[in-house]
Homo-oligomer: A and B are copies of this chain.
């Protein structure tokens, strides 16, 4: 049985919408049944039809989608709504969807502001519906393995975290050309108060907290606009303090010329350290003080149930970004199906990013942007 999926945003010309749709198809847990793919009604309709949807479920606005779907018989009605619009168009449709009884998958960063995020948290809790925030990188099997190694105490107490996300694609004033992705990401009216920190800094932040199981308590940020004419930060670095007293460094840049998307994290404990990076996503390097470093691999017979659950192919047949994304979709579906069956859901499926991660992510954005403007070194991480 497939879950019925609807999509808001992600029409022709969008990047992430197509990624969501592929992710939803890989494990055959969803069927796309409707969408409102653009804020431009005509484009929205055309996109739906181009995607093979019937005209009457190719809606012209998210409001129409939710209203009309609600009137359909329960057996036909959409069950999960994916929202893949720019940041300023996250909150309203997510709220409306949840309040009308739909499960929601939402692209990150969660909202336009922390205030919206906290409001959405209330909505999610009141709704009783499931909510997933697409922090894709936590979907990689070796990221899950890293989390388990830390959780199981294999590294001892965590002492240091380095996390980085260097990109080079905004090295020029790309928003001056007709590049849609660059345009909204550098527009304060669409992205919010942060550029790079919101777009990729939140990923790095989430990855650090996810793997370490720790929470950031203080930040000290250097936030920069490097490319002339740009309106939002395109580069930054943040010194971090965590709730166990350890420290860390987060680097995010979109002007690291020549770099692609090699998000990377290193976590060090008393006994050893782990290292993971997207470029070699199927490998987790586990380094020890007194013995040879080990190479954990996706598909290895020795990995945890969390890594194994999120793997489709034998070791050495690499899985990538789309499969990591698909893991979020699949786990969300399995959790909803467990709900529908009145079952508790297995712990591996329940391990997907949700509303709490979203609130913390938006708090990260607001805290680091504030810190960037402050003369004070350390500022408390407040929510």
As a 0/1 sequence over residues 292 to 308 of chain A, the CB contacts with chain B under 8 angstroms (1 = contact) are 11111101111000000
**A356 at the B interface (CB under 8 A):** no
CB of A160 within 8 A of CB of B26, answer no
- Beyond A292-B297, A376-B375, A377-B220, is A312–B316 a contact (Cβ under 8 Å)? no
Q: Which of A17-25, A72-80, A86-94, A182-190 contacts B (4 or more CB under 8 A)?
A: A17-25
**A179 at the B interface (CB under 8 A):** no
As a 0/1 sequence over residues 361 to 381 of chain A, the CB contacts with chain B under 8 angstroms (1 = contact) are 000000000000011111000
Measured as residues with beta carbon below 8 angstroms from the partner, the interface class of chain A is: 35 or more
**A281 at the B interface (CB under 8 A):** yes
Cβ–Cβ < 8 Å partners of A28 in chain B:
21-22, 25, 51-52
**A123 at the B interface (CB under 8 A):** no
CB of B376 within 8 A of CB of A2, answer no
Partner of A294, one of B19, B25, B257, B295: B295
Nearest to A238 among chain B residues (CB) is B239
Nearest to A19 among chain B residues (CB) is B313
Partner of A322, one of B159, B292, B312, B316: B312
**A176 at the B interface (CB under 8 A):** no
Q: How many angstroms between the C-alpha atoms of A302 and B313 in the bound complex?
A: 30
Nearest to A25 among chain B residues (CB) is B25
Cβ–Cβ < 8 Å partners of A167 in chain B:
316
Indicate the member of A27, A294, A317 with the most B CB atoms within 10 Å: A317
Which A residues between 212 and 256 are near B, CB-CB below 8 angstroms? Answer: 220, 222, 224, 226, 235, 237, 239, 246-247, 249, 251, 253, 255-256
Which A residues between 93 and 133 are near B, CB-CB below 8 angstroms? Answer: none
Cβ–Cβ < 8 Å partners of A261 in chain B:
314-317
**A177 at the B interface (CB under 8 A):** no
CB of A271 within 8 A of CB of B257, answer yes
Cβ–Cβ < 8 Å partners of A169 in chain B:
314
Cβ–Cβ < 8 Å partners of A378 in chain B:
375
**A48 at the B interface (CB under 8 A):** no
Partner of A292, one of B237, B262, B300: B300
**A268 at the B interface (CB under 8 A):** yes
CB of A291 within 8 A of CB of B295, answer no
Cβ–Cβ < 8 Å partners of A51 in chain B:
28
Q: How many angstroms between the C-alpha atoms of A280 and B279 in the bound complex?
A: 8
CB of A256 within 8 A of CB of B273, answer yes
Cβ–Cβ < 8 Å partners of A315 in chain B:
260-261
CB of B318 within 8 A of CB of A313, answer no
Q: Which residues of A contact B (CB under 8 A)?
A: 1-2, 15, 18-19, 21-22, 25-28, 51-52, 155, 159-160, 162, 164, 166-169, 171-172, 220, 222, 224, 226, 235, 237, 239, 246-247, 249, 251, 253, 255-262, 266, 268-273, 278-282, 286-297, 299-302, 312-323, 374-378
Closest 3 CB pairs of A and B: A260-B316, A258-B287, A261-B316
